[in-house]
Amino acid sequence: MSNTNIAIIGAGLAGRLLAFKLSKLNYNLHLYEANPLTPAATAHLSAAAFTAAGMIAPISEAIEADIDTYHLGKTSLALWPSIIEQLNLNAATQVEFKHSGSLIICHPQDHAELSHFRHKVEQLSRQCDAQYQILNAQQLNALEPGLNGNFTSGLFLEDEAHIDNRQLLRALLAHCIANQVQVIDNTQVSIEGNTVISSKAKKSFDWVFDCRGIGAKPQLPQLRGVRGEVLRVESKEITLHRPVRLMHPRYQLYLVPKPNHQFVIGATQIESEDRSPMSVQSMLELCTAMYSINPAFSQARIIEQNTNLRPAFIDNKPQVIVRGQQVAINGFFRHGFLIAPAIIDSVIHWLQGTTCPHHQRIFSFLE
Ligand SMILES: Cc1cc2nc3c(=O)[nH]c(=O)nc-3n(C[C@H](O)[C@H](O)[C@H](O)COP(=O)(O)OP(=O)(O)OC[C@H]3O[C@@H](n4cnc5c(N)ncnc54)[C@H](O)[C@@H]3O)c2cc1C
Tens digits of per-residue pLDDT, 171-184?
Answer: 999 999 999 999 99
State the pLDDT at residue 248.
87
Say if residue 152 is in the same domain as residue 13.
Answer: no
Range of the domain at 343: 5-56+165-220+314-366
Q: Which of 278, 234, 290, 237 is nearest to 258 (CA)?
A: 234
**144 Cα: distance to centroid of ligand 1 (angstroms):** 30
Instruction: Flag whether 91 is in a domain.
Output: no
pLDDT of 114 above 50? yes
Is the distance from the beta carbon of residue 239 to the nearest atom of ligand 1 less than 6 Å? no
Choose one of 292, 312, 332: the last residue of a domain.
Answer: 312
CATH code, domain with 187: 3.50.50.60
List, for residues 250-278, the tens digit of each pLDDT value: 877 999 999 999 999 999 999 999 999 99
What pLDDT digit, counting tens, does each position of 327-363 carry?
Answer: 999 999 999 999 999 999 999 999 999 877 666 789 9
Q: Are 289 and 230 in the same domain?
A: yes
Asked if residue 126 and residue 27 are part of one domain, the reply reads no
The reply to whether 275 and 327 lie within a common domain is no
pLDDT at 116: 94
The mean of the pLDDT values for the chain is 94
Spatial separation of the C-alpha atoms in residues 197 and 185, rounded to whole Å: 14
Nearest to 127 by CA among 66, 65, 73: 66
The reply to whether ligand 1 has any atom less than 6 angstroms from the CB of 46 is yes
Q: Does residue 280 form part of some domain?
A: yes
Ligand 1 atom at minimum distance from 188 CA: 42
The answer as to whether 293 is a domain residue is: yes
Give the pLDDT of residue 296.
96
Of the candidate ranges 38-52, 88-102, 155-169, the one whose mean pLDDT is the lowest: 38-52
* pLDDT reported for residue 360: 73
Q: How many domains does the chain have?
A: 2
Mean pLDDT for the stretch of residues 288-306 = 96
Indicate the pTM of the whole model: 0.97
| Cβ of residue 47 lying under 6 Å from some atom of ligand 1 | yes
Indicate whether 301 and 322 sit together in one domain.
no
Position 39 scores a pLDDT of 67
Burial 128-149 (b: 16+ CB within 10 A, else e): eebebeebeeeebbebbebbee
> Is the minimum distance from the CB of 34 to ligand 1 under 6 angstroms?
yes
Average pLDDT over residues 106-119: 93
Between the CA of 300 and the centroid of ligand 1 the distance, in Å, is: 27
Question: DSSP letters along 111-169, please?
Answer: HHHHHHHHHHHHHHHHHS----EEEEHHHHHHH-GGGTT--SEEEEETT-EEE-HHHHH
* Residue from 17, 45, 46 whose mutation best tests the ligand 1 pocket (most atoms within 8 A of CB): 46
- Over residues 30-50, the pLDDT tens digits come to 999 999 997 665 545 689 999
Residue 234 belongs to a domain with what CATH number?
3.30.9.10
pLDDT interval class at 241 (50, 70, 90): very high
Shared domain check, 192 and 236: no
In angstroms, what is the span from residue 263 Cα to ligand 1's centroid?
20
Q: Is residue 77 part of a domain?
A: no
Whether the Cβ atoms of residue 133 and residue 155 lie closer than 8 Å to each other: yes
Counting ligand 1 atoms within 8 A of each CB, the residue from 21, 279, 310, 316 with the most, and so the one to mutate, is 310
pLDDT at 43: 47
What is the spatial distance between Cα 148 and Cα 121, in angstroms, rounded to a whole number? 26
CB atoms under 10 Å from CB of 218, counted, come to 10
Q: Are residues 175 and 301 in the same domain?
A: no
Going by their DSSP bridges, the two strands 133-136 and 102-106 should be labelled as unpaired
Q: Is residue 138 part of a domain?
A: yes
Query: Residue 36 Cα, ligand 1 centroid: separation in angstroms?
Result: 16
Residues 50-90 pLDDT 10s: 999 999 999 999 999 999 999 999 999 999 999 999 999 98
Cβ–ligand 1 distance for 243 under 6 Å, the answer no
Please give the average per-residue pLDDT across 160-166, as a whole number: 97
**Predicted local distance difference test score (pLDDT) of residue 249:** 83
Among 267, 295, 312, identify where a domain stops. Answer: 312
User: Is the same domain home to 29 and 14?
Assistant: yes
Domain boundary, last residue among 312, 342, 358: 312
Clarify whether residues 259 and 273 are in a common domain. yes
Question: What does each C-alpha distance from 30 to 16, 48, 253, 323, 353 come to in angstroms?
Answer: 11, 21, 38, 20, 22
Instruction: State whether 215 and 305 are in the same domain.
Output: no
291 and 239, same structural domain? yes
Q: How many CB atoms lie within 10 A of CB 324?
A: 12
